[in-house]
Amino acid sequence: MSPLARIDASYTPRFAEFAFEPGFTAAVDQHVAHLRERLAATCADLVPQPPDRESLADYALGFLDALTETGWREPVGHDYAVCRLTAISWLVKRHDLA
C-alpha cells in the first residue's frame, strides 16, 4: 500500500473532529499551507494548485520513516505528527491523489 493510501485510510476519520475541535482544524489548516509551500504547490491565482502526487508521497514516506525511527505512537489528542498526517490526508482527499 502506498504511503498516501495508508495515511488517507488512517487519518481521514479525523476530519470528523473538525466539527467540534476548532483548534485542531486551525492547526491542520496551517500544516496544509506549510506542505503546499514546502512542495511548491503554489501559483499566482487565489486557488493553490494541487501538490504533485509523487512529491507528496515521497514527503509522506520520509515523515512516516522518521516517526518510526523515533518510536512515535499516535496519542489520544493532537500532536504535531497527527496534525501533519491529517493535513496530508486532507490534501490527498481534496486533490484525489490516492
Distance of CA 50 to the CA centre of its chain: 13
Q: Which three cell numbers stand for residue 81?
A: 505528527
Q: What residues contact 10, with CB distance under 8 A and at least 6 apart?
A: 85, 89
Q: Say which amino acid occupies 60.
A: A
How far is Cα of residue 65 from the mean position of the Cα atoms in its chain? Answer: 15
| Cell triple for 72 | 512515535
Q: What is the pTM of this model?
A: 0.89
Closest CA to 30 of 96, 63, 97, 78: 78
43-69 pLDDT, tens per residue? 566 666 788 899 999 999 999 999 999
As a whole number, mean pLDDT of residues 82-86 equals 97
